[in-house]
Amino acid sequence: MLAIMKNSGKVLLLSAVLMAGLAETKSANAQEATVQLQPSATPVVINKNIYGHFAEHLGTCIYGGLYVGEKSSIPNIDGVRNDVVEALKKLKIPLLRWPGGCFADTYHWKDGIGDKAKRPTMINTWWGGVTEDNSFGTHDFLNMCERLGAEPYLAGNVGSGTVQELSEWVQYVNFDGSSPMAKLRKENGRDTPWNVHYWGVGNEAWGCGGNMTAEYYANEYRKYATFMNNYSDKAKLFRIASGASSGDYKWTETLLRDIPHGMLEGVALHHYAVIDWNAKGPASGFTEEQYAATLKQAYLMEELVTKHSAIMDKYDPKKKLALVVDEWGGWYDVEAGTNPGFLFQQNSIRDAVLAGMTLNIFNNHADRVRMANLAQMVNVLQAVILTDKAKMILTPTYHVMEMYNVHQDANLIPLKVLTPDYVFGKESIPAITVSASTDKAGKTHITLTNIDAHKTIAVNIPLGERKANGYTGRILQSAKLQDYNSFEQPNKVAPAAFTGATLKNGLLIVKMPAASVVVLTLN
Ligand code: AHR
């Protein structure tokens, strides 16, 4: 949907049409970008589930971050922290994936129901080797989702579970009649089913989910999916196949070829922005070289969703199936002194720009990308919230997710973007990314990121037919790329009103400061 015409030189070559509107605002050395709003041939809605999150039993994401137990002195309802829930509600979280990740393929859901004092323990073998007491289980998660107003997305255990176990989980949470699992659910205090639509059939089946080949997994998928029943129209299942890692296109091709499409609603994709798995670099205190290298890896998402979508188009030209990017984000070295298995990292302006850029990519591919889950929600990887006992802070990524939620379920405006590159050492990445939509009330929202670490870039947006008298805007930026919010300085990086745009004769010019994220609403 998005055509990017890169220009790393100083003089931009614009079409005659654009030149007419822009001639007087540009100098030969200007750092400028141009965005053309296109007519939409086929209307595409930006599925709100693109703004989904992911919470795994990993480090202090669940225990400490979301759940502190009913007896905690930290204010909670049924053990789930009130402060965190209130902050998450402001994001309008549409969807939450649980219980993993790699953990999901070791998880046995029946261990997490019933009397908490009697639940069996297990070792969390993937994440730190800690003892999991199963005190946060199915009821805790699904009730928390209800409180958040978010749809649950349950990841089923294919790697070490059984077909019957997953089949019974579906019955336990979705069946409204008389059945062994519905009876058990009622005995555990929940009369009505939760009606869970979204189900992952395993996770990373090529790796921690069982080290399977694509062909073998496709067969396993068919078997598991066969016994996942639709119990009512209110609980129509949306089954998601464990997808490729980054550029493993053969994986996607094999699943699309070997799984009958009537048994499948979505295919997953995981991509983390990692410089080098053996030398990830610090989450804060990084160099500009590391900043550029991370964003280069994040920008790869554009190519990945384009190429995986092209394979899906071949097998599913009517685009019935969704591409589900159910793990994405920046991944760095853990903070000094923390458990390496807990994946606790700080979150800086680099992450804000990474999130803004990635969400723009997803929005612009909304015809196929209909769900995505940022990894992860609290205290793990690119978290939106960090906690330290009773304290809680919002990260720069939180603010981007909040600024961008105007796009949820809005109509995508296709764009053509002409942008200079941000060039650093070996890396060269389009400096400006943009996405735009019209919401149900008819308001147009435009989100922009400038990843260039030094240059302000003027983004020219001729509004054409679109009438606007003005705009309101917010910006997220900070003095340094490495700036982050800490428990000592929780509001160092926070959105502020943006007044750096002008609107004259139908031309919107947005001056995007270096390393910034902006949301504009046309009035
Ligand atoms: O998000 C951390 C881990 O990354 C997940 O558990 C796994 O699916 C992926 O490899």
Average pLDDT over residues 171-189: 98
Same domain, 317 and 443: no
Instruction: Give the up-direction half-sphere exposure of residue 431: CA atoms within 13 A in the CB hemisphere.
Output: 29
Same domain, 276 and 297: yes
Q: What is the pLDDT of residues 419-447, one digit of tens each?
A: 999 999 988 999 999 999 999 999 999 99
Q: Is 146 a catalytic residue?
A: no
Same domain, 65 and 26: no
> 447 near 357, Cβ under 8 Å?
no
Q: What is the pLDDT of residues 85-131, one digit of tens each?
A: 999 999 999 999 999 999 999 999 999 999 999 999 999 999 999 99
Average pLDDT over residues 386-407: 98
Alpha-carbon dihedral sign for residues 332, 429, 371, 204 = negative
Q: What is the pLDDT of residues 25-71, one digit of tens each?
A: 232 234 899 999 998 888 999 999 999 999 999 999 999 999 999 99
- By most ligand atoms within 8 Å of CB, the mutation choice from 98, 201, 203, 378 for ligand 1 is 203
> H or E element: which one contains 143?
helix 138-148
Same domain, 10 and 93: no
Ligand 1 centre from 287 Cα, in Å?
Answer: 26
Of 387, 411, 435, the last residue of a domain is 411
Same domain, 470 and 394: no
Ligand 1 centre from 102 Cα, in Å?
Answer: 6
Of 389, 411, 433, the last residue of a domain is 411
Identify the residues whose C-beta falls under 6 Å from ligand 1: 56, 100-102, 203-204, 327, 375-376, 381
Q: What is the pLDDT of residue 19?
A: 30
> 473 near 501, Cβ under 8 Å?
yes
Say yes or no to pLDDT of 22 above 70: no
Same domain, 25 and 102: no
Which residue's entry shows tokens 């760095």?
A: 332
203/211 Cα distance (integer angstroms): 11
In terms of Cβ atoms closer than 10 Å to its own Cβ (0-12, 13-18, 19+), residue 285 is exposed
82/80 Cα distance (integer angstroms): 6
Atom 7 of ligand 1, residue of closest alpha carbon: 101
Of 411, 436, 453, the last residue of a domain is 411
Say yes or no to pLDDT of 322 above 90: yes
Averaged pLDDT of the chain: 93
Q: Is 327 a catalytic residue?
A: yes
Same domain, 430 and 377: no
Same domain, 429 and 404: no
Same domain, 405 and 505: no
Same domain, 369 and 495: no
Structural domain count of the chain? 2
Q: What percent of the chain has pLDDT over 90?
A: 92
The pTM assigned to this predicted structure is 0.94
Same domain, 92 and 36: no
Same domain, 458 and 370: no
Domain holding 420: CATH number? 2.60.40.1180
Say yes or no to pLDDT of 315 above 80: yes
Q: Could you identify the atom of ligand 1 that is nearest to the CA of residue 54?
A: 1
Domain that holds residue 444: 2-43+412-522
Number of other CB atoms surrounding residue 132 within 10 Å: 23
Domain holding 252: CATH number? 3.20.20.80
